[in-house]
Amino acid sequence: MLPVVTVRHLNHAFGKGELRKPVLFDVDLDIQAGEIVLLTGPSGSGKTTLLTLIAGLRSVQEGSVQVLGQELFGANKQQLVQVRNQIGFIFQAHNLLACLTAQQNVGMSLRLHQDLSLEARIARSTEMLTAVGMGDRVHYYPNSLSGGQKQRVAIARALVSEPKIVLADEPTAALDSKSGRDVVEIMQRQAKRQNCTILLVTHDTRILDIADRIIHMEDGRLARDTALLGSIA
Ligand code: ADP
Ligand code: MG
């Protein structure tokens, strides 16, 4: 089977002229379908930059990034949007819309599914919220939820459309260790159920064991790539 993400000879720099600052150097990476990959490394090592390139959120300057069969180098806007629509995103701050309930926030992710009736979208959102342990809070607004609860809603929102890939940038950073752990375990369980690939950036050493594989970045390079034995089924 083809990898869902293939990165070859990827270089990236910010700024121009004298201010030009290279931040990624010759990155090569393959991620297989269904893998849970954690990306670790010191602050400033290039983790978010790599994630946003794979996400189609910034243009590839040099090298190749293929996501779900689409080459992102030289891709046009429409191709980038098409790739983004197949990816679920989870960020450090949950980014929920304050004026929408949990269920409406999750339902937003299904707006592209025009074949689904409003009733079906509500049903799927409720089902997904129940799966992340938020079934009794579907009509709550973000302001009345705790940090961990908001992040669960964000997970439900990222997964409800059954994306092939979820990209998460320090999703537990704002949470205490217990809720952080709960949140990634829920993410892991749902992803395995949906055969979804996860690429998750984290500093949080307490969650490393949810990974199938841990990639360590240093100074813009992939320094180590470790498969976790326990996870090979
Ligand atoms: P990490 O996520 O590992 O902390 P980043 O990918 O955010 O690292 O940043 C890598 C390097 O690129 C850092 O030196 C950072 O200052 C720089 N950088 C990140 N984003 C930008 C930007 N938009 N403009 C200029 N420099 C940036
Ligand atoms: Mg970062």
**pTM, rounded to two decimals:** 0.92
Which residue's C-alpha comes closest to atom 14 of ligand 1? Answer: 44
Q: Which residues contact 95 (CB under 8 A, 6 or more apart)?
A: 154
Q: Where are the domains of the chain?
A: 33-59+76-227
Residues within 5 A (CB) of ion ligand 2 = 48
For the chain, how many residues are written?
A: 233
The preferred substitution site among 38, 48, 57 for testing ligand 1, maximizing ligand atoms within 8 Å of CB, is: 48
Q: From the CA atom positions of the chain, what is the Rg in Å?
A: 18
Q: What is the pLDDT along the chain (233 residues), one digit of tens a residue?
A: 789 999 999 999 999 999 999 999 999 999 999 999 999 999 999 999 999 999 999 999 999 999 999 999 999 999 999 999 999 999 887 789 999 999 999 999 998 887 889 999 999 999 999 998 999 999 999 999 999 999 999 999 999 999 999 999 999 888 888 888 888 998 899 889 889 999 999 988 888 989 999 999 999 999 998 998 665 44
Superfamily holding 33-59+76-227: P-loop containing nucleotide triphosphate hydrolases (3.40.50.300)
Strands of the sheet with 213-218, listed across from one edge: 87-90, 165-169, 197-201, 36-40, 213-218, 221-227
